[in-house]
Structure 1
Amino acid sequence: MSSEGKRWDKLAKNYLQGHLFKEYMRKPNILRSIGKVKHLPRLICCNQDTCSPMVNAFDENSPVLRDKDLVKDPKGICRSILRGTPGDIYMGLYKFIKETRGGFEKTGLKSIIESAKEVNDLEGLDAGYSSAIALACVKRIAKQGKIKKDDEVLVNLTDGRYTNKPTKTTWKYFNPLTIYS
């Protein structure tokens, strides 16, 4: 494997281990420490409702995953994020999510499929279901009033539709209450 291939392989493994979340927050943390930003941006982690062990634990304010939270045979369309037993990732994310005033959210099949179609219709991106779930959850928490009208929201769309081809990462800022009201 080439050095470039090894680098991307390592990056993919780090993503699965939750390290990119920490890296994503590194710069805002530095900016906060020198007084350039007031607080860290909220981070929301999303799961499909058929496989949401971290959501279950977080909803009960548990800093660790318990046996009752785990999903032995995960099912769903969000293949790349179906982790019925996420391991030690949750413990690190729990603290991190609390620090950013974020949360764990879950949503169902219908809203995921609708969001994938919306991303394709609005942006021309075939984001895939494991990515569209992020938009589905943002829409859900916006409807719940947890996102204010003037909040800036960053939705990370990284997934391709079940291909082995690399897909580009798209960062899109928008106000979900404006687009989806």
Structure 2
Amino acid sequence: MAGDSRRAERSVEQTLGHLRALDSASMEHPARPLTLEDLYRQQRMRMVRLAILLVDDPATAEDVVQEAFTGLYRNWSGLRDARAALGYLRTAVVNGSRSVLRRRKTAREYQPPHQADARSAESLAMLTAEHQAVVAALGKLPRRQREVLVLRYYGDLSEVEIAEATGVSRGTVKSTASRGLEALQKLIGD
């Protein structure tokens, strides 16, 4: 296990070291101070490769780098000297990549609120008017009350099974069912 870990570390170190060496060899070292144009020409691909390694998507990496250069352009006059620009740029690419990854994570974790399926005309036609009123009233209950009542009376589950399915305590199932039945009675009565 430790050997695999060291082997993986060496592999990563060699690969990234090779990329770093390639990037360093291609950099120019001008005698005059760097301009933003010089920096763009010399560092753009290196920053794109950095961003690709962080976000794992070339198009997104290019967007991140473009945003970093745009920010650098806006703040160019506020830099201590042109040599500080590279550090600013690198930090902007890393922070931009982090933002992309946070947005991805948030998007993956988002679950839209449950949308009740519309009942088919056939299924509603088969229900009596009283049953239709109950189904309509169930749709107006808060989510947890609706879940508990449906699991109990449609799913024919016990309080313990409902508690496991919904992730609440048995006591919460009992009180939620009680409040749900009261609310349902009021909705049907109206």
After TM superposition, the score normalised by the length of structure 1 is 0.21
Larger Rg: 2
Higher helix proportion, which one? 2
After TM superposition, the score normalised by the length of structure 2 is 0.20
Higher strand proportion, which one? 1
